[in-house]
Amino acid sequence: MLYAIFLLSTLAISGCARTDHIGKAPSFSPTTNNQEHYAMMNPPLPTQASVSRRSDTASLWSRNKQSLLGDRRAAGRGDILTVVIEVDEKAQINNETERSRSGSESMSIPQLAGLPQRLNTRLPEGATTDPLVDLSSNSSSSGDGSVKRSEKLTLRVAATIVDVLPNGVLAIQGTQELRVNYELRELLVSGFVRSEDISRQNEITFDKIASARVSYGGRGQISDMQQPRLGQQVLDAVLPF
């Protein structure tokens, strides 16, 4: 009963995900009521009170972002920066293992108070107690494995600072969606960066993001055709052979 309920609920969820783009292009994800939108609409409270002066906005040498020489790099919650993702990795691993072992054991008792001779007369024709025990074993194993992988990805995406941690590290999150005909491509990036790693162009590279999470995929009619049916996936996970 529980298995049937689980299967029906899974089918319903899968069906709702696919019925979104039946006969039409996939729908975009909402840009409101998400973590990025919340960070932009709710700036953090200042840690200390600052007194504003008219000269701060009139001077060209002010530190404000609106001034001529101000630092325009993202620093607070709700600010936007550009994440540059350039991944070009190649890995090749070859492993080969071979092992062999052989052993033999033999034991005979030709003279033990005449017992072997008496036993030989009682044994069937052709059987003898010499040697009494004769064991031999032989085992061998070999293995060969190789891994070859090549990945190349070049992307640029705008991310939003969603939180500033107590140690000054910035938590970022960015989403990007591109729809071409009936296929929607999604790019998601998140992680933690240091403010000093952000360049003067308000950019940060992928290798400077801690706990980086990058997802590049999509949904639509082509993606549905490339995925096995739900029943086939369930059978692949359940059947032992």
Give the per-residue pLDDT at 130: 62
Give the per-residue pLDDT at 232: 77
Residues of the chain falling short of pLDDT 70: 1-21, 23-24, 45-70, 105-135, 241
Number of separate helices (H) and strands (E) present in the chain: 6, 6
> How far apart (Å, rounded) are the C-alpha atoms in residues 132 and 117?
12
Of 233, 237, 227, nearest to 18 (Cα)? 227
Alpha carbon of 170 to those of 83, 150, 164, 178, 208: distances in Å? Answer: 13, 31, 5, 27, 12
Give the per-residue pLDDT at 203: 93
By residue count, the chain amounts to: 241
Of 185, 165, 217, 202, nearest to 84 (Cα)? 202
Q: Could you tell me the maximum CA-CA distance found in the chain, to the nearest angstrom?
A: 123
Give the per-residue pLDDT at 110: 58
Give the per-residue pLDDT at 238: 81
Give the per-residue pLDDT at 101: 75
- What pLDDT, in 10s, does the model give residues 143-156? 787 878 888 888 89
Q: Is the pTM of this model over 0.85?
A: no
**Beta-bridge partners for 81:** 159
